[in-house]
Amino acid sequence: MEKKRYERPHLVKLDTGMPSKAGLRGDSPATTRIDGVQVKELIAKFGSPLFVMSEQTIRSTYQKAFKAFSTRYPKVQFAWSYKTNYLPAVCNVFHQEGSWAEVVSGFEYDKALANGIDPGKIIFNGPGKSAEELKKAAENGSLIHIDHLDELYLLTDLAGEMKRKPLVAIRVNMDTGIYPMWDRFGFNYENGQAWDALNKIMLAGKLELVGLHTHIGTFIMSATPYAVAASKLADLALGLQQKFNHNIRYIDMGGGFASKNTLKGSYLPGADTNPSFDDYAEAITTALVNSGFKPESLPLLILETGRALIDEAGYIITSVIANKRLSTGRRATVIDAGVNLLFTSFWYEHPVTPAQGFSQYREENTLYGPLCMNIDCVRDSINLPLLNKGDSLVIHYTGAYNLTQWMQFITLRPNVVMIDREGNTHLIRESESVNVISGLEKTPDYLKHVK
């Protein structure tokens, strides 16, 4: 006789406040496939945990964003924010779509060059560029965004020895009505620092001022601050026009658009409340179009959107290691992906769905990662079906920052695959081996023996 499908015995007290199974109908259906590929198959082939990037989602998200801006403004250019996800395969999907590169370190700069992007299409941001890095970028004709006066002086000095005039912009910080105000990067608008820096550049004549840049913050949940920021940059640009008869080529609005993720402590899910590309585009382009630029001298609008372009394209497939019950009677599940791989779970309530069918019974659960570390908690509280050891889960919206900020803490990092538009799976970063880590370690002779 064939045996019946097993489900753990489950009993839960009915509280009036507790949503019944009906109340949750429609909530988190199983994710048995990603872009048509079976999750089960992915695990069998590449192991668990596993990072999965969807090429289709990257491209369609990019196209949606580009369309939102390009239908409202004549000259639009995106620059892919490397720090958000700098796997070459991912970067090159963006480059194929037409994105430039936006880098914030020499390491990222070299990665962009290695990806084959034209150096003239690399924007070099960040507060920590070395003299060598500045020199290399300047001679390559990359766009250098100056962060502070020390960098301005250094670059002005270096310019003397160069054959080519460095192409520069300054980063401007400002009050856009949001809290906290990011004032540690760039030159302040309100107190005149920014205008002062622009005057220094123009009067010294060693650098070619091509743009103005701002980056007002991260995960900005309202479009209005961008309108304020765009007007303030436009003011600076018009000031330059008036005083020096100098037209800048571009205004770079940075990034900071929110993805669909839900910030911890939010009542409503981010997918409902966070502004759309259209909302951001409307705010920014309206401010620019309504500013004092003559129609023929409207600057190129550059956007360094990272998170909102990639978060939804990333998944982590993970498996249940163990089920436990905490001292309070609360159910806890240990999974094989923790905060080492999912750094962003410190801020977001990532959606988590089961990767196989399930009955209507659910329980409140705490999801812990596998690390021997108390803060390794992926979700404090989530309603999930009754999971057995070995079952799989899919964690959503994980494409941004996790593949650059992940930690090599007590274990090795897993495979990363990309599913292309035909449903083929490609390994885009191999799982680490002990040698990758230990090979760099050196032990002095006298410490080689423990006896």
Partner 1 sequence: MKINENLAISESGFLFNPSTGESFTVNPIGAEIIEKLKVGKSEEEILNELHDTYEIDKKSLQKDLLDFNQILKQYQLLEQDEETSN
Partner 2 sequence: MKKPVINIGVTGLNAIDSPGPGVAVIRGLREAGSFDIRIIGFAYESLEPGIYMHDLVDRTYQIPYPSTGTDALLSRLEYIHSREKLDVIIPNFDAELYSFMKLESKLLQMGIHMFLPTMEQFEERHKVNLSEFGKKYGIDVPLGKAIFDSSEIFDLQKDFDFPLMVKGKWYDAYIAYNMEQARTYFNKISAKWGLPVVLQRYVHGTEYNVTGLGDGKGNTIAAVPMRKQFITDKGKAWAGISIDDKKLLSITQKFISATKWKGAFELEMMKSNDNKYYLMEINPRIPAWVYLAVGVGQNIPEALTNLAMGNEVAPFESYEVGKLFIRYSYDMIVDRSEFEKISMNGEL
Query: Given candidates 265, 329, 439, 444, which one binds partner 1 under the rule CB under 8 A?
Result: 329
From candidates 17, 160, 390, 444, binder to partner 2 by CB under 8 A = 17
- Secondary structure class of 8 (helix, strand, coil): coil
3-state secondary structure of 169: strand
End-to-end CA distance of the chain: give it in Å, rounded.
61
Neighbours of 248 (CB within 10 A): 20
11 interacts with partner 2 by CB under 8 A: no
Of 36 and 329, nearer to partner 1 (C-beta) is 329
Neighbours of 292 (CB within 10 A): 10
Which neighbouring-strand residues pair with 140?
none
Q: What residues contact residue 235 under an 8 Å CB cut-off, 6+ apart?
A: 291
Residue 349 burial (C-beta neighbours within 10 Å; 0-12, 13-18, 19+):
buried
User: What is the residue whose two structure tokens read 């496939």?
Assistant: 33
Q: Does 16 bind partner 2 (CB under 8 A)?
A: yes
Q: How far is the CB of 12 from partner 1 (least distance, A)?
A: 6
Q: Which of 203, 268, 375, 450 binds partner 2 (CB under 8 A)?
A: 268
Please choose which of partner 2, partner 1, none residue 265 contacts, taking the beta carbon within 5 to 8 angstroms, the exact cut-off set by kind. Answer: partner 2
Instruction: Tell me the CB-side half-sphere exposure of residue 130, using CA atoms within 13 A.
Output: 7
Stretch that binds partner 2, among 234-242, 264-272, 310-318, 328-336 (CB under 8 A): 264-272
Residue 420 has phi, psi (to 5 degrees) of -85, 180
Buried b (16+ CB within 10 A) or exposed e, 213-235: bbbbbebbebbebbbbbbbbbbe
Nearer to partner 2 among residue 18 and residue 322 (C-beta): 18
Is residue 13 a contact residue for partner 2 (CB under 8 A)?
no
**Contact of residue 297 among partner 2, partner 1, none (CB under 5-8 Å per partner type):** none
Binding to partner 1 by residue 9, rule CB under 8 A? yes
Q: For residue 10, state whether it binds partner 1 (rule: CB under 8 A).
A: yes
Decide whether 2 or 296 has the Cβ nearer to partner 1.
Answer: 2
Asked if 17 touches partner 1 (CB under 8 A), the answer is no
Tokens describing residue 148 = 């502070």
Binding mask 23-42 for partner 2 (x = CB under 8 A): xxxxx---------------
x/- map, 356-395, partner 1, by CB under 8 A:
---x-x------------------------x-xx------
According to DSSP, the residues that pair with 417 across neighbouring strands are 52, 427
Q: Does 8 bind partner 1 (CB under 8 A)?
A: yes
Q: Backbone phi, then psi, for 81, in 5-degree steps?
A: -80, 100
In angstroms, give the least distance from the CB of 330 to partner 1: 11
User: How far apart are the C-alpha atoms of 46 and 315, rounded to whole Å?
Assistant: 14
Q: Which is nearer to partner 1, 271 or 322 (CB)?
A: 322
Q: How far is the CB of 179 from partner 2 (least distance, A)?
A: 4
Q: Is 14 in the site for partner 2 (CB under 8 A)?
A: yes
CA distance 249 to 297: 9
Q: At closest approach, how far in Å is the CB of 279 from partner 2?
A: 11
d(C-alpha 32, C-alpha 393), whole Å: 9
Choice from 163, 184, 294, 325 touching partner 1 (CB under 8 A): 325
Mark 77-93 as b/e (b = at least 16 C-beta within 10 Å): bbbbbbbbbbbebbbeb
DSSP secondary structure string for all residues of 384-425:
EE---TT-EEEE-S--SSHHHH---SSS----EEEE-TTS-E
Q: Applying CB under 8 A, which of residues 8, 10, 21, 421 lies at the interface with partner 2? A: 21
Binding residues for partner 1, per CB under 8 A?
3-14, 20, 323, 325, 329, 359, 361, 386, 388-389
Binding residues for partner 2, per CB under 8 A?
14, 16-17, 19-27, 179-180, 265, 267-269, 271-273
